[in-house]
Structure 1
Amino acid sequence: MEIEDGSGVQDLQPRTSLGAPSDKSTMVGLDDELIQILEWLERDSLLLDTLSIVGMAGIGKTTFARKVYDHQRIQMTFHIRVWVTVSQNYNERKIVLDLLDSMKKLTDEMHKETSELKHVLYQNLKGWRYLIIMDDIWDMEVWNDIRCLFPDDKKRSRIMLTTRLETVAVHVNPRALHHMRFLNDDESWNLLCEKVFGATINDDESWNLLCKKVFGEDCCPRELNQIGTKIAKNCRGLPLAIVLIGGLLSKSTKTQSYWEYVVKNLSSVITSNDDQCKRIMDLSYDNLPPHLKVCFLYMGIFPEDYEILVSKLVKLWIAEGFIEPVTRKSLEDVAEEYLLNLVERSLILVSKKSSKGKTKTCKIHDLLHQLCAREARKESFFHVTDMSLNGLPTDISMSHVTDKNLQSLPTNFISLRRVSIHPNTETNCVHAKSLQPSTVRSVLNFDPMLHLSVEFLKSRLLRVLDVNSFDFPTESFEFLKLVNLRYLACVSGAREFPSSLYKLRNLQTLILHGTESSFHLPLEIWRMPQLRHAHLEKVNLPDPPKAGVEEEHCLTILEDLQTLSNVINFRCAEDILRRIPNLKKLGILYVDVRVDWSDYYLNNLARLQNLETLKCLFDVPYPPFLQNLTFPTSLKKLTLRGCFLPWKDITIIGSLPNLQVLKLKRNAFNGLVWETKEEQFLQLTFLLLEKNNLKYWKADHIHFPKLQHLILHNCRRLIEVPRGIGDIPTLQKIELYYCSDSLVTSAKNIYEEQCDLGNEVLQVRIVEMTHDE
């Protein structure tokens, strides 16, 4: 359990009793993981079983497996221990020979057929308790071919594999996967010290003793210690990076200036000084199919350590044309499959998950980011610059490029396809030069201080434009000539877009944030049939013109529109909803409503039969028309705020057959008592209750049979969490933020009861109110 009162956090985690290892581990960190693996290998199951160690390149899978293999407990448990390295170039005969060689059963006379060698191997394993470690497997066919070589004599034999590919691990045994974690800051620092100085550092006294040994002094400059911890931290917990930089530092002059240089240029220092690191990282990239290579390389267009919003990444991939259409699947679904494939290959790291359990944000490790940047330069895939446009090909500053003279331009000029502008803390530039070459396809700006002018838009081939702000001309709109634009994300200080917006006929994604209190889109937004996603902030979306009023405004069906979010005072009239029949995500904010509420027709929401996510927020007092509100049965996620609905009406929501996530934010419901009914919320996995006047919540485990995650936020009148909630078999986490003392006590009691019943899954997190709240 985790308790926070402003001064600290405490976790209530499952109470387990793992014994200490029988001998002292020389590996820095991961001792807990080592114990878990040893216990799995030694458990009582008589049948032959397999376990896979999964993780990205350089995370220490082989080192960890070797530690297991050499452990004294393993040597005492298994009669035979066999190690074989498989790698990418799979050769069945070589694997068999390597297995026999590891067992000391290979002789010079063994010039036999592969089938005979297999028989020899099988016979030498039969009747013994053995441990086979197969290191670095890349293909599930390897397992299919060699599985029959290992007899199952019910001797508690085990096979352990290491792989970068989760798909391989799942194929071998989906129930036994161990994902290698990154080292924490302390473990990273200790590993670095071991590689640089030959000893670990646990405290100031150890540091001083080490300095005396290394430098012949009682201590060295404290700055070196501080820089060293920063170097270790900047390795992002990857053992390969720490070991390589540690080896480099151990051979170099131990001066503050050099260490400062290293900490500022860590990734490039590692890759430029170690060919082995390049080879290890490149293997993962080289193994990718072409359609995943471009998606992975694109990750380098984001700044280092940037937390990438998956929904944005997917839209960018689609706009760039990376996603191959698949029958009966949307481009977004295919893109998410690509992302999952890269995650399973340990190339992309999941940072946060959404309430629906999907990947919400992701990152790539700095060394993989460096790989992307290196390959991108090689292939002219994209160019990274800062606000001064440093680092771009030297001849991009040509003042004018036309279709006629395009063929005569230098090759490096023509290859300028994508430009990514990153922040540069070392420059004082406040304006960017113009980007004028007509070959630019994409411009992405990640510098919040950079204010780009619309004048740089000279490329009619531009597909992606992601910038912070524009200086819109008052009359002419240069960017409307960008007929190939598929993705536009910007902040605007203007009051309205021009009516010629529809000329961006290929636009798929529009992300628009207005700075004025009222920003208006033109009616022509409804004449853009390619539009797939519209994310609008402080933007008013007009009602579409009615069919037949004018010939040019004939009814246009936006069949591809999937997302329409943060729309102000959206009217759900039937003629409007008919134009967006395939909408999957809708977000509405009602503010300053001055007309008859019935004009908004919210009961028509049920007509959106493909709607999966709905957010409906009210910043108005007591909207009376919400009584008897209905929702489409396709709904999977629902967020409400400010509706002031009576708790008896929640049965309408509870009866939704596909609802998985429910977020009831500030005053979504009003009343002191919520009595949950049976046969409700049958698919619900996530429930948030926030800032309401609820006092008594009557519920049992049968009411939320699939609930996994419960969050109570600012529920200061609620007396207790229903005791039966703890008995829900799927429940994994309860979180309380700034709730009443009695509610906190009830959550703690549930946790203790579940621990006593042997429930090792449930976690409880509590952030308590401070005394002045």
Structure 2
Amino acid sequence: MAYASLLSLKHLLEHTLDHDYQYLILDEKQQIESLLQKLSFLQDFLDDSPQKSSETIDCLESQIKDAAYEAEDIIESHITDRVHEEIASKRDDSLTPFCHKLDEVIEEIDSIKKMVEKIKDDDDVQDLQTRTKPSQPASSGKSSMVGLDDDIMEIKVRLTRGSSSIETLSVVGMGGIGKTTLTRKVYDDEKIVQYFDNRAWVTVSQNYSARELLLGLLDSMKKLTDEVREKSFEELADYLYKNLKGRMYLMVLDDVWDTKVWDNVKRLFPNDNNGSRIMMTTRLENVAGYDNSCSPHHMRFLTEGESWNLFCEIVFGKDGCPTELKQIGKKIVQNCQGLPLAIVVIAGLLSKATKTQHYWTYVGENISSVIASNDDNCYKIISLSYKHLPHHLKGCFLYIGIFPEDYNISVSKLVKLWVAERLLKPVISKSLEDVAREYLLELVHRNLILVRVKSSIGKIKSCSIHDLLRDFCVREAQRQKFFHVNNMGLCGISEGTKVRRLSIHSHRKLDLDNCLQNMRLRSVLNFDWEHYHQSDKLINSRLLSVFDTYETSINKFPVNLRYFAGKFHFTRLLPESLLYLLRNLQTLICGNEVLEISEIWEMRQLRHVNLWGLVLPDPPSAETEGENSIIVLDNLQTYYCTR
């Protein structure tokens, strides 16, 4: 989460220098401008660094994340203290000098910058990206596949009919949905074997070598000898081309992650107008549609019937499911949500375990955790999609895990949260909300996010995520201390844990006093509405910036609050200093009884206002504000008020 922490800190520094709080850091302005330059350097390094993780990169990212978080804490704590001093009309000289703390963290970031410079000078970044040899997997004839007969037939027809010109057919879908298994079934089909003169299969993977890719194809064609292996890349390319020339062939490129793969190999495949075909499997829509010779085949989730048949075939073979296990078995299958990978892993586990109702009930209630603890390969398959994400998308993707299982996520809400969490990289001439929607669309095109509802003009209104992917997000986010989910299935937060974001799905085992004392809480999202009142005190977290709940009691607002959603009522009269405490507010979503907030016209950072019980007063008159004064909320994008 190094990149996300850099983005957040840069947003903070730029906002502090350009807006209301500039006067609070005038003495440190030069330090902050210097820090901004260092952060931009580190951000550029991460943008250019390999997506594949390595020990060196992982270590650097961890140091960057910790230093950025520390700097953010120091600066926001300083601003919070100074604002409260102004309200109280006094200065607390006993506070540890802000300048000294800032110097220390700048020194730490500077040392990290020097390490990065050394890596770049030594060209170590290229060495970090190790090449993985394309492999030719053994025939997966034993792989279980139930259903999809129509899909297999459709692909066979597309391969053997149609244009005589060479065509590329891509099979696209999320990890674990069965792209490779389906393609292998077609590839090994007797009719396909007899139809094509030459067939070859190579698994490309994320970090491929063009030379190894050619060797893999030649090996699959039984054309690889020791002499051939010694040839140069151009000699290998010529050798492959000559072996395919004049023959009708089927080439399969499995697990393609980059359009450059096609750019590098398309010239190697002769087009003799004899009906030759190329197949690719990929998780990425842009890769699937890159060639444009024919439309991709989109994988679908299995139906409940297909899922049940696949499950029973693995667990019981030719024997039927015992009556006493059928109901819970169908619940297990339903919880796999039609993803073949999840069904195969769970069924494989249950086929070797004691077939009792008690154990099956436990598995049915804990599908994702059972898979995680019993099948490392499954999570490796899921994690590949995450590791391949560009840095600017990783934080936004993991953030999806903050919502409960099977949650219908409003895109409007998600966009507002991403903006408030400072997870977005600004783009000139685009609003942050537009950037957020582009990020979401990219995650959809990578088959990581599922579209639930679209508007009449095709915009995504709500989305969701498969439980297996969501569980990965939660585990990875908690490992990186990006956020913590508190629910009935997870242990409470240990003492001293520094969690910046807390998602409450259940108040069970949640020590709220510990949260306030030992956590640097920035965000609280409360989905346990039956016990919403238990988290009231979290609104008092001094560095809180995001608070989403059903209803809460408030005696003061946090200085850094950028997002508030829910009903609120005050434990005492509204303070006149409310304006000072809400100058950072971007999103205000309230369902209060009739209440008037005149200060709303001074909340200049407001982007989204949704009020269905509050009275919006008229803006202050020119006489009140000054003869030439015009009240303008420059950033306001959406507004709804019932009164």
TM interval, shorter chain, is: 0.7 to 0.9
Farther-moved stretch of structure 1 (552-561 vs 236-245): 552-561
Kindly state the Cα deviation for residue 526 of structure 1 after the two structures are TM-superposed.
Answer: 1.2
- Equivalent in the alignment of 1:539: 614
Kindly state the Cα deviation for residue 95 of structure 1 after the two structures are TM-superposed.
Answer: 0.8
Matches within 5 A, 1:393-542: 393-395=493-495, 412-413=496-497, 415-423=498-506, 435-437=515-517, 439-452=520-533, 454-472=536-554, 477-479=555-557, 482-492=558-568, 500-503=577-580, 504-514=582-592, 516=593, 519-542=594-617
- Among 214, 218, 235, the residue aligned to 1:116: 235
Cα deviation per residue 1:56-77 (whole Å; 9 max; x = unaligned)? 1111000011111122332233
- Among 219, 225, 229, the residue aligned to 1:101: 219
Pair 1:30 & 2:148 matched: yes
CA distance in 1, matches of 2:192, 2:596: 69
Q: 1:469 to 1:448 in 2, by over 3 A?
A: same
**What secondary structure sits across from 1:384 in the alignment?**
strand
Kindly state the Cα deviation for residue 386 of structure 1 after the two structures are TM-superposed.
Answer: 4.0
Q: 1:136 to 1:497 in 2, by over 3 A?
A: farther
CA distance in 1, matches of 2:609, 2:526: 20
* Amino acid corresponding to residue 61 of structure 1 in structure 2: K
Pair 1:346 & 2:447 matched: yes
Q: 1:38 to 1:466 in 2, by over 3 A?
A: same
- Among 376, 379, 382, the residue aligned to 1:281: 382
CA distance in 1, matches of 2:342, 2:604: 49
**What secondary structure sits across from 1:394 in the alignment?**
coil
CA distance in 2, matches of 1:344, 1:365: 15
**What secondary structure sits across from 2:461 in the alignment?**
strand
CA distance in 2, matches of 1:368, 1:153: 43
CA distance in 2, matches of 1:72, 1:552: 86
Native 8 Å contact 2:486 2:510 kept in 1: no
* Amino acid corresponding to residue 52 of structure 1 in structure 2: S
* Amino acid corresponding to residue 275 of structure 2 in structure 1: R
Native 8 Å contact 1:444 1:466 kept in 2: yes
Matches within 5 A, 1:604-683: none
- Equivalent in the alignment of 1:156: 275
Q: 1:390 to 1:374 in 2, by over 3 A?
A: closer
Kindly state the Cα deviation for residue 529 of structure 1 after the two structures are TM-superposed.
Answer: 1.0
CA distance in 2, matches of 1:329, 1:153: 47
Pair 1:140 & 2:229 matched: no
**What secondary structure sits across from 1:534 in the alignment?**
strand
Native 8 Å contact 1:383 1:392 kept in 2: no
CA distance in 1, matches of 2:293, 2:226: 39
* Amino acid corresponding to residue 144 of structure 1 in structure 2: D
CA distance in 2, matches of 1:455, 1:263: 36
Cα deviation per residue 1:407-433 (whole Å; 9 max; x = unaligned)? xxxxx43x2211110047xx6x99966
Cα deviation per residue 1:185-212 (whole Å; 9 max; x = unaligned)? 111111111111124xxxxxxxxx625x
- Equivalent in the alignment of 1:260: 361
Matches within 5 A, 1:734-773: none
Cα deviation per residue 1:485-513 (whole Å; 9 max; x = unaligned)? 11100124679976654331011111111
Matches within 5 A, 1:370-389: 370-386=471-487
Native 8 Å contact 1:500 1:524 kept in 2: no
Kindly state the Cα deviation for residue 316 of structure 1 after the two structures are TM-superposed.
Answer: 0.8
CA distance in 1, matches of 2:180, 2:546: 42
Cα deviation per residue 1:718-760 (whole Å; 9 max; x = unaligned)? xxxxxxxxxxxxxxxxxxxxxxxxxxxxxxxxxxxxxxxxxxx
Pair 1:167 & 2:286 matched: yes
- Equivalent in the alignment of 2:165: 47
CA distance in 2, matches of 1:174, 1:555: 57
- Among 289, 301, 305, the residue aligned to 2:402: 301
* Amino acid corresponding to residue 483 of structure 1 in structure 2: V
Gapped regions of structure 2 (runs ≥ 5): 1-142
- Equivalent in the alignment of 1:272: 373
- Equivalent in the alignment of 1:310: 411
CA distance in 2, matches of 1:461, 1:554: 33
* Amino acid corresponding to residue 557 of structure 1 in structure 2: V
* Amino acid corresponding to residue 523 of structure 1 in structure 2: S
**What secondary structure sits across from 2:590 in the alignment?**
strand
For these two proteins, the number of residue pairs brought into alignment is: 496
CA distance in 1, matches of 2:577, 2:491: 36
Kindly state the Cα deviation for residue 183 of structure 1 after the two structures are TM-superposed.
Answer: 0.7
CA distance in 2, matches of 1:552, 1:533: 28
Kindly state the Cα deviation for residue 268 of structure 1 after the two structures are TM-superposed.
Answer: 0.6
Cα deviation per residue 1:112-170 (whole Å; 9 max; x = unaligned)? 11111111111111111111111000111111101100011111111110001112112
Native 8 Å contact 1:529 1:556 kept in 2: no
- Equivalent in the alignment of 1:84: 202
CA distance in 2, matches of 1:445, 1:278: 28
**What secondary structure sits across from 1:181 in the alignment?**
coil
Larger Cα Rg: Structure 1 or Structure 2?
Answer: 1
**RCO (CA 8 Å, sep 6+): is it higher in 1 or 2?**
2
Kindly state the Cα deviation for residue 337 of structure 1 after the two structures are TM-superposed.
Answer: 1.2
Cα deviation per residue 1:438-491 (whole Å; 9 max; x = unaligned)? 61100000112023364333322111000110134xxxx322xx1111110012
Pair 1:210 & 2:320 matched: yes
Native 8 Å contact 2:167 2:293 kept in 1: no
Task: Report the structure, 1 or 2, having the larger helix content.
Answer: 2
* Amino acid corresponding to residue 459 of structure 2 in structure 1: K
* Amino acid corresponding to residue 490 of structure 1 in structure 2: G
Farther-moved stretch of structure 1 (319-328 vs 432-441): 432-441
Pair 1:568 & 2:642 matched: yes
CA distance in 1, matches of 2:506, 2:297: 38
Matches within 5 A, 1:331-342: 331-342=432-443
* Amino acid corresponding to residue 443 of structure 1 in structure 2: V
**Overall identity of the aligned pairs, in %:** 55
Task: Report the structure, 1 or 2, having the larger strand content.
Answer: 1
Matches within 5 A, 1:685-764: none
Native 8 Å contact 1:227 1:263 kept in 2: yes
Computed over aligned residues only, the root mean square deviation of the Cα atoms, in angstroms, reads 2.5
Matches within 5 A, 1:352-363: 352-363=453-464
Cα deviation per residue 1:312-333 (whole Å; 9 max; x = unaligned)? 1111111111101111111011
**What secondary structure sits across from 1:373 in the alignment?**
helix
**What secondary structure sits across from 2:337 in the alignment?**
coil
* Amino acid corresponding to residue 436 of structure 1 in structure 2: L
**What secondary structure sits across from 1:46 in the alignment?**
coil
Cα deviation per residue 1:595-644 (whole Å; 9 max; x = unaligned)? xxxxxxxxxxxxxxxxxxxxxxxxxxxxxxxxxxxxxxxxxxxxxxxxxx
Native 8 Å contact 2:345 2:371 kept in 1: yes
CA distance in 2, matches of 1:102, 1:430: 56
Kindly state the Cα deviation for residue 289 of structure 1 after the two structures are TM-superposed.
Answer: 2.0
Q: 1:494 to 1:463 in 2, by over 3 A?
A: closer
